[in-house]
């Protein structure tokens, strides 16, 4: 499963054969848990912007799309022992 996050797009038609599409998607989520004496700290930051052009060569629902997207997605996970490690 993949996601760009929560967001939306604005899709104005310029002519019968050409339209623009701009989008913004984002989501911040943190999750901390303990498992087998290890503390995990996870952060997910999704941030995507797009500016695209839709070309409708036959003036129908069929279209070709070209444009640019910025992907600022990040994931950060750290793990550390819940208790000090004993000397070996």
Distance CA 9, CA 7 (A): 7
Bridge partners, residue 47, by sequence: 26
Q: Which of 64, 80, 74 is nearest to 32 (CA)?
A: 80
Quick one: pLDDT band at residue 1, thresholds 50, 70, 90?
low
pLDDT in tens, 34-49: 988 889 999 999 999 9
The pTM (predicted TM-score) of the whole model is 0.67
Q: What is the pLDDT of residue 88?
A: 58
For strand 6-10 and strand 74-81, is the pairing parallel, antiparallel, or unpaired?
A: unpaired
């Amino acid at each position: 499963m993949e996601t760009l996050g929560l967001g939306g797009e604005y899709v104005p038609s310029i002519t019968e054969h050409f339209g623009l599409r701009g989008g913004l998607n984002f989501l911040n989520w943190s999750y901390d848990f303990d498992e087998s004496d290890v503390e995990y700290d996870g952060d997910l930051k999704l941030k995507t912007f797009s500016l695209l052009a839709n070309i409708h060569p036959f003036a129908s629902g069929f279209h070709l799309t070209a444009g640019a997207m910025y992907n600022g997605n990040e994931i950060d996970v750290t793990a550390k022992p819940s208790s000090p490690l004993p000397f070996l």
